[in-house]
Amino acid sequence: MKDLVSASLLGCDLADLKNEIKSIESAGADWLHCDVMDGVFVNNISFGTPVLKCVRKAASVPMDTHLMITDPIRYIDDYANLGSDNITFHLEAASNPQAVIDKIHSHGISAGISIKPGTPVSAVKPYLGSVDMVLVMTVEPGFGGQKFVADTLEKISEIRYILDSMGRTEVNIEVDGGVNGETVKLCREAGANVFVSGSYIFGAEDRAAAVDSLK
């Protein structure tokens, strides 16, 4: 399984989106992580389809869309049609998570399921047979620049153990929130292989060095 860095757009200068995308791509980011927030599932509103349509045109790396919205099934078609390569939704936000996974798969793209720090592994277990990625939030979703919650590491190990025992070694485990040159090691040791980073890489003087340090 490949180790990947997914740069979170939320950490960039949103008034200079095209240049920020180019900058982070040339710094070596593998994916572009796009945080969609609705002000209901989380206490913040970020951006939605009009912005991400433009982002898709400006970016050449895969688009990793993270939906922090209630009732995500309503919006899967929109975010798939604009060119997402992966769509991750929150288990806590969906009344029928399997239906959301199936809807994402009907577009022929990767499906991710995410859990907040307080959600136990047992809640996500029924879906480990069908998802392509599990996003373990390492902060409360809603804002960039928060401190890494170390209690989440145990959940990463547990999910990796379950996936391995199911023979699903190809499934990605992504971590998101407070990932930097130090916490990335803990996540990697626990079994994560996709590392989202916003403030750490966009705030760095040398972005290529920051991406390198994660890799």
What count of other Cβ atoms lies within 10 Å of the Cβ of residue 59? 22
Q: Which is nearer to ligand DX5, 8 or 131 (CB)?
A: 8
Q: Which is nearer to ligand DX5, 104 or 135 (CB)?
A: 135
Q: Is 11 annotated as a binding residue?
A: no
- Calpha distance 213→36 (Å, rounded): 27
Outline where the chain has alpha helix (H): 17-26, 49-58, 76-81, 97-105, 121-124, 153-165, 183-190, 199-202, 207-214
The active-site residue out of 30, 164, 176, 206 is 176
- Calpha distance 112→134 (Å, rounded): 5
User: Is 35 one of the annotated active-site residues of the chain?
Assistant: yes
Q: What is the CA radius of gyration of the chain?
A: 16
Minimum CB separation of residue 167 from Zn ion in Å reads: 28
Q: Which is nearer to ligand DX5, 33 or 103 (CB)?
A: 33
Q: Is 114 annotated as a binding residue?
A: no
Of 98, 156, 161, nearest in space to 126 by CA: 98
Q: Is 198 annotated as a binding residue?
A: yes
User: Is 78 one of the annotated active-site residues of the chain?
Assistant: no
Chain contacts with ligand DX5 (rule: CB under 6 A) = 8, 10-11, 33, 35, 66, 139, 141-146, 176-179, 196-200
Chain contacts with Zn ion (rule: CB under 5 A) = 35, 66, 176
Q: Is 145 annotated as a binding residue?
A: yes
Q: Which residues are annotated as a binding site?
A: 8, 33, 35, 66, 142-145, 176-178, 198-199
